[in-house]
Amino acid sequence: MVDTAQTELIRRLIRAGTGSDDEIAALLKDAGLVVVARALTEEVAFRCPEPANAAPVDVALEVTHGEARHTVALRMVRDEPVRVVEDDSAQVRSRVTFTATDLVRRLFGAADSPRTGDFHNSFVPAPEDPGQLKELLSEMNTVFRDAAQATATLMAGCTARCPGLDELSIRYGSDKWASLHWYTAHYERHFAPYRDRPVRVLEIGIGGFDDDLGGSSLKMWKRYFHRGTIFGLDIYDKSALNESRLSALVGDQNDPDYLTAMAREHGPFDIVIDDGSHMNEHVRTSFTTLFPYVRSGGLYVIEDLQTAYFPHFGGSAGGSAGPDTSIGLVKGLIDDLHHREHREPAVTRPTLTQSMVTAVHAYHNIVFVEKGVNGEDTLPAWIDAAVRNALVAK
Ligand SMILES: C[S@@+](CC[C@H](N)C(=O)[O-])C[C@H]1O[C@@H](n2cnc3c(N)ncnc32)[C@H](O)[C@@H]1O
């Protein structure tokens, strides 16, 4: 878990991204430019795509507030993650400067707000030694191309906009697209309304099991929900993944007591995704325990429903998944959605899922359950009776 002061700083930054200039100024006053600039730089480094330049280039990122400025350099080179290094002007080929206010808005404001004309830049400082200048001129094309590519990488990190989930899934190595599964198009459709919101997302199943750290999809969600706080839950300890806006929790998705304590501490969630063990019993335990901790207006997603037909996962043999399976759960939710239509007996005291499941979107192997107020009434009893009498009279 990232420490409390850092979590509070990120929470305020997320809020300030769509807040007033005064809110950002108050944050800078309380935390100081250096602390805010460090947090912004870390976020930029995370958001940068893979650099395209073959030769290493350092790009300086300057963040200013009034007369104060804080500068670091980001080292860009193909096949390596972007790294924050000390600002050593001799190595720096390109320099980009934002006011802290503009950078907060770029990173934590609405993704589609246009951002132009809010930065300064300068390329390749002239060397003092004339001999070096000659060398530089002879290599100008390469030097300039590498600097341009590295600067473009930095600028792609200085924005809330990002590629679609197909591309992010490939970038971070998740199997949610073009491999075992084809889920990202469904995620795009259902997650788009939450994109600009300060959502809390929980994904059960971080990936990698006990022999790899995993975290691909958590990074994908962190990049996609630029104002989001992302929690992953796994039976194995993956806390080495912890960083700002991303926490890896350790626990068993089939343990209701653990899940309840965890949800009380970190919830309520806007979105829960179950991509854990895919054992049918576990899927049902997690849903029953965590659905109450999804906010009204939120979503509960279950991946890999195919295991409802796999007996070794606790699924049913044959073509009809039984009531104890994940598909059985989904079928039950459709019944719950229609509880006002139930007759003999009519429902007098609706359950939580009857009152709060408002839609069930099932696709091949994945379901999105919407939570809200399932408040639409059935036909009034007198119409019901009149229609029945009319039909009987025929
Ligand atoms: C399919 S992987 C998750 C992949 C990841 N969501 C992604 O898209 O990159 C499933 C993960 O669930 C974890 N897991 C298995 N049983 C679990 C349980 N009972 N509770 C919590 N996590 C469990 C495994 O350790 C594994 O890392």
The pLDDT tens digits of the residues spanning 284-342 come to 999 999 999 999 999 999 999 999 999 999 999 999 999 999 999 999 999 999 999 99
User: Whose Cα sits closest to atom 25 in ligand 1?
Assistant: 209
Ligand 1 centre to CA of 160 (Å) is: 28
Q: Is the pLDDT of residue 127 over 80?
A: no
User: Whose Cα sits closest to atom 4 in ligand 1?
Assistant: 207
Q: Is the pLDDT of residue 169 over 70?
A: yes
Pairwise CA distance, residues 193 & 366, whole Å? 19
Residues 212 and 89 in one domain: no
Listed in sequence order, the DSSP H helices in the chain are 4-16, 21-31, 33-47, 100-108, 130-138, 140-157, 165-172, 184-191, 216-224, 256-266, 280-290, 326-337, 352-356, 381-393
DSSP codes, 185-236: HHHHHHHGGGTTS--EEEEE--SSTTTS---HHHHHHHHHSTT-EEEEEESS
Residues 54 and 119 in one domain: yes
Residues 266 and 337 in one domain: yes
Domain that holds residue 83: 4-157
User: Whose Cα sits closest to atom 15 in ligand 1?
Assistant: 277
Q: Which of 104, 136, 157 is the last residue of a domain?
A: 157
Residue 381 lies in a domain: no
Residues 292 and 174 in one domain: yes
With cut-offs at 50, 70 and 90, classify the pLDDT of residue 24: very high
* 219: β partners: none
Q: Identify which of 176, 235, 287 to mutate to test ligand 1's pocket (most ligand atoms within 8 A of the CB).
A: 235
Residues 118 and 179 in one domain: no
Residue 139 lies in a domain: yes
Residue 387 lies in a domain: no
Q: Is the pLDDT of residue 1 over 70?
A: no
Residues 268 and 354 in one domain: yes
In this predicted model, what pLDDT tens digit does every residue of 198-215 receive, in sequence order? 999 999 999 999 999 999
Pairwise CA distance, residues 44 & 102, whole Å? 13
Burial (0-12, 13-18, 19+ Cβ within 10 Å), 369 = buried
Residues 137 and 204 in one domain: no
In this predicted model, what pLDDT tens digit does every residue of 37-84 receive, in sequence order? 999 999 999 999 999 999 999 999 999 999 999 999 999 999 999 999
Number of domains in the chain: 2
pTM score of the predicted model: 0.94
Q: Which atom of ligand 1 is nearest to the CA of 234?
A: 22
Residues 357 and 247 in one domain: yes
Residue 134 lies in a domain: yes
Residues with CB under 6 A from ligand 1: 174-176, 203-209, 214, 216-217, 233-236, 252-254, 275-277, 282
Residue 391 lies in a domain: no
Q: Identify which of 253, 262, 278, 285 to mutate to test ligand 1's pocket (most ligand atoms within 8 A of the CB).
A: 253
Residues 116 and 170 in one domain: no
Report the catalytic residues.
278
Residues 109 and 35 in one domain: yes
Residue 379 lies in a domain: no
Residues 232 and 351 in one domain: yes
Residues 302 and 364 in one domain: yes
* 249: β partners: 233
In this structure, what CATH number is given to the domain that contains residue 323?
3.40.50.150
The answer to whether the CB of 110 falls within 8 A of the CB of 196 is yes
Residue 72 lies in a domain: yes
